[in-house]
C-alpha cells in the first residue's frame, strides 16, 4: 500500500469528499431521526503535534512504509441541534477510521457560534417581511425604481451582559430601474439598522442612525426633524463596466505572462506542493482559508504551520450603534467560507493551479468550493546582482516567487491574502485590502470628524483593520524544545575612549524569550524576532541557525482599553505575542468571537497562563512551564491598517498592501539563490524613442566602443566573454 493510498490520506491533507460525507453521516447517525440538525462546519481535525512529529520525521527520512504508525484520521464537525427556543451548539471530533465520535461538547451558552452563509442569506428576507422593518422604512421616501438590499452583519460586542444570538444589518437602496443586479447599492445607505433574534428569527428592534455632521451630537435626529426624502443628491457608484459613469480606458496594452514549458511547481492531490527546494502541504479550512503545513527547504523544516488567524475591524464613529460595527472576519464568519472562486486570467496570471475544497451545507453535505486558492509563480524583479566594474560584467538573478493566494469577500469588502515563497529562502506574507467601504448616510452639505464624505450623502467612517498571523515554528527540527525565540535589538553606543573612540560602534543585543509574553515593535531599535534552533549552529558564523521575522510597525487598536471593542480583541493591542504551544489553539482572539464582550482563550489568556520556555523554573512559579518547554512556541504577528478614508477609495478602493517577511538568518551556509541561473529573457524587446525629426541623443552612442573609459560605465560583457558561450552570463 503506497503512502499516498487514498484510503490512508496524508495526516495533513484536507478532507476528501468521501471523508467529509462520512463525518457528516456519523454525526447524523448518533442522533434520533427526528432531531433537526444544522451543520456549521466539517473539516479535518489536525493530529496532535506529538503524534504527528514522529510520522513527519519518518516521512522526511524517506523511510515511510505502510506499517509506519500514523495518527488517526479525524474530522471536526460543528453543528446545532435546532430546538424551538434555543439551539444547542455542538463541537464533535469524529474518527473516520473507526467511525466513532471521539469527543463532543456543547459550547457555553454565552459563546455564539460563527455564522454560515445560509444564515447570512436569510436575514434580508426576514427583514423585508417584518412589520417592524416596514414601519421603520415608512419614515422615508425612496426615489422611484429603488428597492431594498440589506447586508447582514454580526452584532458586534453587545452592550448587554447576557444577550441572545443576534444579527444586525446595514440597509441600502438599489437602483433597480435598469434591472441590473450588480448596480452598486452601497451608493444609497438608509439610516436604520434592524436587529434580528437569530433563534426566533424575529426582529427585536430597528435602530435609527444619526446622520448629522460634526456639530450634531451623537443621537439620531428626532423623528420629526429627520430628512424624509432620502438619496436625492446621492450619485450612482457603479463599478461594473456596463453601468460605469465613464468609458473604459482603451490604451492599456496587454502584458502577457506565460510559461511555455509549464510551471516549475507541482501539486499532489493530498496537498503536497513542491517548488525549487521548497515543499509544504496546503490545506484549506472554513475559518482560515489557505493553511500551509510542514514548510521545508531542502528537506529541512522551517515552519510547522503558517496561517492567518484573525482580523478585527473596529469603527471609530462614536454614535450608537456604530460602536457595534466591529467584525471579526475569521471568528464571526470565516475567511474560508467567504473565499472567492477564482477565475483563470483575473486573480493570478501565468500557469496556475487552483485548489478546490468543500464547505458544509446546512445538511452537512460537502458543497464544492471550487478554485478557492490559486498557486502560481511570478517574477518580482531583481533578486541579486553584481557588476564587476573592472570588467563591466554583470550577473543578475531574478526574484521568482511561488504565490499561494486567496481572496475573500465579506459583504462589501475584499481581502487578498498571499503567502509567497522565494528563491532565497524567504517567505513573505502579503495582505491587500480592497472592495467597497462600509458607508453610512450623512445629511446634505455636512461634514464629519468621524470619517470622510466621499460622495454626496455618503460618509465613509474611519476604521481599522487589525490582523493576526499565526507562525508555528519548527526551525531545522521538529523537536519543539530545540526552538527558541530571541528578541534582537540594535543600539547605538556613546563615544567612549576604550571601546568606542570614534562613536561609530553599535551593538546588537539579544534576549531569549523565557516565557509567554507580548512584544511591541520598536523601529528605532530595529527590534526583530528571531526563530532559532538552539542546538544547531551555522557552520561559518557559529550562531544558531534561524529565521528572522521582519514586520513593519503599524498602528494597532485605538479604542479605549476599557471599551468592549478593545476587550474583545486583546490581540490587537500588541505587535507580537509569543505563547506556549497547545494543540488546536489557532485563534488569536479566542475560538468564539461572535458577539463576545471580551477575548476568551485568545493570546491574552495564553500569555496569562504563565508558560515559560527555559529549562530553569521562573522565580514566580510559572505553572505550565514544563509542558510549554516541551511543546514549544507559537508566534503571533499582529498588524493593522488605520483606514481614514480617501475620496479615492470610493466606490471600490485601490489596494492597501501590507507585507511581513520571514527571512533565513544563518540558516544556510551562503545565499541559497546563488545557483539561480542568470538567464536572459528572450521575450524582452526594445521600445524605440517615439518622435522623429529631432536630433536623437543616442545617435553617437556607438562611438563608445572606441572610448577608453567606456568600460567604466557599463555592465555589458565584453566581446570575448560573450563568445565564451551561453553560460557566461
Kindly identify the residues of this chain, within the stretch 568-627, that bind a copy of itself according to CB under 8 A.
Answer: none
215 belongs to the binding site for a copy of itself (CB under 8 A): no
Site membership for a copy of itself, residue 456 (CB under 8 A): yes
Q: Would the CA dihedral through 553, 558, 560, 562 be positive or negative?
A: negative
Using the rule CB under 8 A, is 706 a contact of a copy of itself? no
Site for a copy of itself in 479-498 (CB under 8 A): 490-495
Q: Is the peptide bond before 718 cis (omega within 30 degrees of 0)?
A: no
Residues 384-423, interacting with a copy of itself (CB under 8 A)? 384-396, 398-400, 407, 409, 411-412, 414, 416, 423
The verdict on whether 450 is a catalytic residue reads: no
Q: Which range binds a copy of itself by CB under 8 A, 126-134, 203-211, 265-273, 611-619?
A: 265-273
CA distance readout (Å), 311 to 40, 516, 586: 20, 22, 13
511 touching a copy of itself, by CB under 8 A: no
What mask of x and - would describe binding to a copy of itself in positions 70 to 99, judged by CB under 8 A?
A: ------------------------------
State the catalytic residue, choosing from 238, 317, 329, 476: 329
Binding residues for a copy of itself, total number by CB under 8 A: 236
Q: Is 1 in the site for a copy of itself (CB under 8 A)?
A: no
* C-alpha cell recorded at residue 671: 545565499
Q: Which stretch binds a copy of itself (CB under 8 A): 84-92, 292-300, 602-610, 709-717?
A: 709-717
Which segment (54-62, 287-295, 339-347, 467-475) binds a copy of itself by CB under 8 A?
339-347
Contact 75, 39 (CB under 8 A): no
Spatial distance between the Cα atoms of 477 and 483, rounded to a whole number of angstroms:
8
Is residue 315 within 8 Å of residue 322, measured between CB atoms?
Answer: yes
Beta bridge partners of 441: 458
DSSP 535-558: EEE-TTT-SEEEEEEE--------
DSSP string covering 550-602: E--------S-TTSHHHHTTGGGGSSEEEEE--TT---TT-S--TT-SS--SS
Contact call for residue 236 and a copy of itself (CB under 8 A): no
**Residues 664-693 interacting with a copy of itself (rule: CB under 8 A):** 664-691, 693
Segment 267 to 286, residues that bind a copy of itself, using CB under 8 A: 267-270, 276
Confirm or reject binding of residue 228 to a copy of itself (CB under 8 A): no
The residue from 29, 318, 584, 618 that contacts a copy of itself (CB under 8 A) is 318
Rounded least distance, CB 255 to a copy of itself, Å = 5
Would you say 184 or 483 has its CB closer to a copy of itself?
184
Strands 463-473 and 300-314: antiparallel
Of 118, 145, 584, 618, the one binding a copy of itself by CB under 8 A: 118
- Residue 128 within binding range of a copy of itself, rule CB under 8 A: no
Residue partners of 664: CB distance under 8 A and separation at least 6: 424, 425, 426, 546, 547, 672
**Cell numbers at 71, concatenated:** 495518527
7, 123, 235, 312, 609 from 43: Cα distances, Å = 17, 26, 44, 23, 29
Q: Applying CB under 8 A, does 218 fall inside the site for a copy of itself?
A: yes
| Cis check: omega of the bond before 224, within 30 degrees of 0 | no
Selected from 505, 517, 601, 605, the binder of a copy of itself by CB under 8 A is 505
**Interacting residues with a copy of itself between 13 and 42 (CB under 8 A):** 14, 16-18
Whether residue 583 lies in the annotated active site:
no
User: Among 367, 517, 535, 624, which residue interacts with a copy of itself (rule: CB under 8 A)?
Assistant: 367
- Binding residue for a copy of itself (CB under 8 A) from 61, 84, 161, 694? 694
Residue 291 makes contact with a copy of itself by CB under 8 A: no
Region 517-546 residues binding a copy of itself, contact defined as CB under 8 A: 521, 523-526, 538, 540-543
Q: Which member of 79, 186, 322, 413 is catalytic?
A: 413
* 650 near a copy of itself (CB under 8 A): yes
With a CB cutoff of 8 Å and minimum separation 6, the contacts of 508 are 488, 489, 490
The alpha carbons of the chain give a radius of gyration, in whole angstroms, of: 29
Q: What is the 3-class SS of 187-202, one letter each residue?
A: HCEECEEEEEECCCCE
Decide: is 141 part of the binding site for a copy of itself (CB under 8 A): no
Specify the residue, 616 or 674, whose C-beta has the smaller distance to a copy of itself: 674
Q: How many CA atoms lie within 13 A of 337 on its CB side?
A: 24
Candidates 33, 222, 262, 621: give the one binding a copy of itself (CB under 8 A). Answer: 262
Q: Is the distance from CB of 127 to CB of 169 less than 8 angstroms? A: yes
Q: Any idea which residues carry the catalytic annotation?
A: 329, 413
Amino acid at each position: 500500500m503506497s503512502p499516498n493510498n487514498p484510503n490512508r490520506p496524508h495526516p495533513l491533507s484536507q478532507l476528501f469528499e468521501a471523508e467529509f460525507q462520512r463525518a457528516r453521516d456519523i454525526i447524523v447517525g448518533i442522533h434520533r431521526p427526528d432531531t433537526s440538525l444544522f451543520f456549521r462546519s466539517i473539516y479535518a481535525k489536525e493530529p496532535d503535534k506529538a503524534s504527528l512529529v514522529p510520522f513527519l520525521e519518518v516521512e522526511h527520512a524517506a523511510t515511510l512504509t505502510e506499517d509506519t504508525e500514523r495518527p488517526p484520521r479525524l474530522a471536526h464537525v460543528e453543528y446545532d441541534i435546532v430546538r424551538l427556543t434555543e439551539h444547542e451548539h455542538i463541537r464533535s471530533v469524529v474518527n473516520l477510521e473507526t467511525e466513532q465520535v471521539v469527543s463532543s461538547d456543547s459550547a457555553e451558552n454565552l459563546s455564539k457560534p460563527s455564522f454560515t452563509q445560509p444564515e447570512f442569506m436569510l436575514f434580508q428576507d426576514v427583514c423585508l417581511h417584518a412589520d417592524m422593518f416596514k414601519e421603520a422604512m415608512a419614515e422615508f421616501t425612496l426615489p422611484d425604481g429603488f428597492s431594498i438590499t440589506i447586508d447582514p452583519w454580526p452584532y458586534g460586542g453587545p452592550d448587554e451582559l447576557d444577550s441572545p444570538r443576534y444579527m444586525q444589518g446595514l440597509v441600502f437602496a438599489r437602483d433597480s430601474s435598469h434591472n441590473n443586479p450588480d448596480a452598486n447599492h452601497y451608493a444609497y445607505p438608509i439610516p436604520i439598522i434592524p436587529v434580528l433574534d437569530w433563534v426566533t428569527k424575529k426582529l427585536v428592534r430597528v435602530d435609527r442612525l444619526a446622520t448629522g455632521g460634526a456639530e450634531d451630537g451623537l443621537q439620531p435626529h428626532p423623528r420629526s426633524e429627520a430628512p424624509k426624502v432620502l438619496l436625492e443628491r446621492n450619485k450612482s457608484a457603479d463599478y461594473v463596466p456596463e453601468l460605469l459613469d465613464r468609458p473604459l480606458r482603451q490604451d492599456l496594452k496587454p502584458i502577457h505572462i506565460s510559461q511555455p514549458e509549464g510551471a516549475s511547481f507541482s501539486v499532489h492531490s493530498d496537498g503536497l506542493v513542491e517548488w525549487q527546494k521548497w515543499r509544504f502541504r496546503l490545506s484549506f479550512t472554513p475559518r482560515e482559508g489557505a493553511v500551509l503545513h510542514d514548510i521545508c527547504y531542502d528537506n529541512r523544516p522551517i515552519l510547522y504551520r503558517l496561517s492567518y488567524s484573525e482580523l478585527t475591524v473596529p469603527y471609530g464613529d462614536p454614535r450608537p450603534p456604530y460602536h457595534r460595527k466591529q467584525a471579526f472576519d475569521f471568528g464571526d464568519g470565516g475567511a474560508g467560507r467567504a473565499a472567492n472562486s477564482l477565475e483563470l486570467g483575473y486573480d493570478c496570471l501565468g500557469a496556475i493551479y487552483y485548489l478546490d475544497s468543500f464547505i458544509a451545507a446546512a445538511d452537512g453535505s460537502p458543497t464544492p468550493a471550487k478554485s478557492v486558492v490559486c498557486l502560481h509563480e511570478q517574477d518580482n524583479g531583481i533578486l541579486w546582482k553584481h557588476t564587476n566594474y573592472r570588467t563591466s560584467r554583470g550577473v543578475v538573478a531574478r526574484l521568482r516567487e511561488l504565490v499561494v493566494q486567496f481572496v475573500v469577500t465579506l459583504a462589501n469588502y475584499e481581502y487578498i491574502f498571499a503567502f509567497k515563497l522565494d528563491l532565497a529562502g524567504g517567505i513573505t506574507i502579503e495582505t491587500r485590502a480592497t472592495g467597497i467601504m462600509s458607508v453610512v448616510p450623512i445629511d446634505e452639505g455636512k461634514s464629519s470628524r468621524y470619517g470622510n464624505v466621499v460622495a454626496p450623502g455618503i460618509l465613509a467612517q474611519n476604521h481599522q483593520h487589525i490582523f493576526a498571523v499565526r507562525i508555528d515554528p519548527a526551525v531545522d527540527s521538529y523537536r519543539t524544545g530545540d526552538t527558541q525565540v530571541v528578541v534582537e535589538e540594535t543600539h547605538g553606543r556613546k563615544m567612549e575612549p576604550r571601546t568606542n573612540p570614534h562613536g561609530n560602534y553599535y551593538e546588537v543585543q539579544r534576549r531569549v524569550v523565557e516565557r509567554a509574553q507580548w512584544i511591541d515593535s520598536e523601529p528605532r531599535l530595529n527590534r526583530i524576532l528571531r526563530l532559532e534552533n538552539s542546538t544547531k549552529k551555522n557552520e561559518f558564523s557559529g550562531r544558531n541557525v534561524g529565521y528572522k521575522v521582519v514586520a513593519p510597525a503599524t498602528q494597532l487598536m485605538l479604542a479605549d482599553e476599557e471599551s468592549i471593542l478593545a476587550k474583545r480583541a486583546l490581540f490587537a493591542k500588541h505587535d507580537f505575542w509569543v505563547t506556549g504551544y497547545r494543540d488546536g489553539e489557532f485563534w488569536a482572539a479566542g475560538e468564539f468571537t461572535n458577539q463576545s464582550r471580551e477575548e476568551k482563550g485568545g493570546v491574552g489568556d495564553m500569555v496569562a497562563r504563565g508558560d515559560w520556555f527555559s529549562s530553569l523554573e521562573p522565580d514566580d512559579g510559572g505553572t505550565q512551564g514544563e509542558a510549554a518547554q516541551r511543546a514549544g512556541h507559537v508566534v503571533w504577528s499582529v498588524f493593522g491598517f488605520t483606514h481614514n478614508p480617501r475620496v479615492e477609495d470610493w466606490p471600490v478602493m485601490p489596494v492597501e498592501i501590507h507585507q511581513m517577511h520571514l527571512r533565513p538568518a544563518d540558516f544556510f551556509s551562503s545565499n541559497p539563490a546563488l545557483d539561480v541561473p542568470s538567464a536572459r529573457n528572450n521575450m524582452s524587446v526594445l521600445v524605440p524613442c517615439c518622435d522623429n525629426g529631432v536630433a536623437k541623443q543616442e545617435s553617437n552612442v556607438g562611438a563608445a566602443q572606441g572610448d577608453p573609459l567606456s568600460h567604466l560605465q557599463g555592465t555589458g560583457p565584453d566581446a570575448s566573454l560573450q563568445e565564451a558561450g551561453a553560460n557566461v552570463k
